[in-house]
């Protein structure tokens, strides 16, 4: 079996079993691997070819991306070997590759207490920024989800989240009444119409805003830290 045929088999499996976001994350590696080894017999691929390919593809990448590409390629080999009952070992399972693409050490993330988060929220200088923080800390929304919300997604105390990170087509978030009222005030004050985004700002601007709000408290805080407090609570 040619490598391009093995990749096609894996992609057919993906379309029936994986989320769209997962499928898309594999595409750069799959396309490049097929371009380089598509005509090679799959069973003839060894650890040397895999190592050269991964090194070439990820030489300028951070360690987490290198590990991701390694894990993806390893998953493809595992799938094809098992599905086709091939008499070969996964070439990704050599000590050289395991060491070169080992997972980075994860440092424990600090969970901030509710009082610190409350103080950060109350220190915001305008209603828009406060709402962005409250949607994360009080309602569990991700920054990316908040920034995609349009006026037409609002319905009293509910928000329809389009293309959430879960991979579903849509999800519904429920708002505490005070936040729902502040959102109504925000929309009314800014004369927003149905197709307008509630928060027409970039992720980097929100991240910078949250970091600056943490400085008076001498804490380094990131957007997801707000949501983590709700999830842990």
pLDDT in tens, 147-161: 999 999 988 888 888
Distances (CA, A) of 7 to 30, 39, 58, 92, 112: 7, 11, 20, 16, 45
pTM of the model: 0.54
- The rounded percent of the chain whose pLDDT value lies above 70 is 91
What mean pLDDT is predicted for residues 191-197?
A: 93
Per-residue pLDDT at 39: 95
| CB contact set of 142 (below 8 Å; sequence gap of 6+) | 136, 164, 165, 223, 224, 227
CATH no., domain 3-100: 1.10.150
Q: Is the pLDDT of residue 166 over 70?
A: no
What mean pLDDT is predicted for residues 203-232?
A: 79
Cα separation, 29 vs 45, in Å, equals: 16
- The rounded percent of the chain whose pLDDT value lies above 90 is 48
Q: By C-alpha distance, which of 216, 203, 190 is closest to 128?
A: 190
Q: Is the pLDDT of residue 5 over 80?
A: yes
* pLDDT, the chain, mean: 87
Contact by Cβ (8 Å): 131, 179:
yes
Per-residue pLDDT at 225: 76
Q: Is the pLDDT of residue 56 over 60?
A: yes
Per-residue pLDDT at 233: 46
Every domain of the chain with CATH number 1.10.443.10 lies at: 114-232
Every domain of the chain with CATH number 1.10.150 lies at: 3-100
Cα separation, 230 vs 118, in Å, equals: 12
What mean pLDDT is predicted for residues 209-231?
A: 78
Q: Is the pLDDT of residue 93 over 50?
A: yes
Per-residue confidence band for 81, with pLDDT thresholds at 50, 70 and 90:
very high
Cα separation, 220 vs 225, in Å, equals: 10
Q: Is the pLDDT of residue 1 over 80?
A: yes
Cα separation, 52 vs 144, in Å, equals: 36
Burial class (CB in 10 A: 0-12, 13-18, 19+), 3: buried
Per-residue confidence band for 100, with pLDDT thresholds at 50, 70 and 90:
confident
Per-residue pLDDT at 231: 46
What is residue 126's three-state secondary structure? coil
- Classify domain 114-232 at the CATH topology level: hpI Integrase; Chain A (1.10.443)
pLDDT for 106-161, tens place per residue?
A: 655 566 677 888 888 888 889 999 999 898 888 888 888 889 999 999 888 888 88
Q: Is the pLDDT of residue 226 over 80?
A: no
What is residue 214's three-state secondary structure? helix
């Amino acid at each position: 079996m040619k490598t391009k045929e093995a990749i096609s088999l894996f992609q057919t499996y993906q379309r029936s079993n994986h989320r769209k976001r997962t499928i898309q994350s594999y595409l750069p590696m799959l396309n490049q691997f097929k371009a380089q080894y598509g005509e090679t017999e799959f069973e003839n691929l060894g650890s040397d070819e895999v190592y050269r390919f991964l090194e070439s593809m990820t030489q300028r990448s951070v360690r987490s991306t290198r590990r991701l590409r390694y894990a993806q390629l390893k998953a493809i080999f595992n799938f094809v070997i098992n599905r086709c009952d091939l008499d070969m070992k996964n070439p990704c399972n050599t000590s050289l590759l395991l060491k070169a693409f080992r997972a980075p050490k994860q440092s424990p993330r600090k969970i901030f207490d509710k009082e610190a988060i409350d103080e950060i929220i109350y220190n915001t200088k305008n209603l828009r920024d406060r709402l962005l923080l409250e949607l994360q800390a009080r309602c569990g929304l991700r920054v990316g989800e908040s920034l995609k919300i349009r006026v037409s997604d609002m319905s009293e105390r509910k928000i329809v989240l389009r293309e959430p990170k879960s991979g579903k087509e849509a999800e519904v978030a429920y708002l505490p009444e005070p936040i729902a009222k502040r959102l109504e005030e925000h929309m009314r004050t800014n004369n927003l119409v149905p197709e307008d985004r509630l928060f027409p700002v970039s992720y980097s601007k929100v991240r910078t805003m949250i970091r600056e709000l943490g400085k008076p408290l001498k804490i380094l805080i990131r957007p997801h830290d707000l949501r983590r407090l709700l999830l842990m609570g």
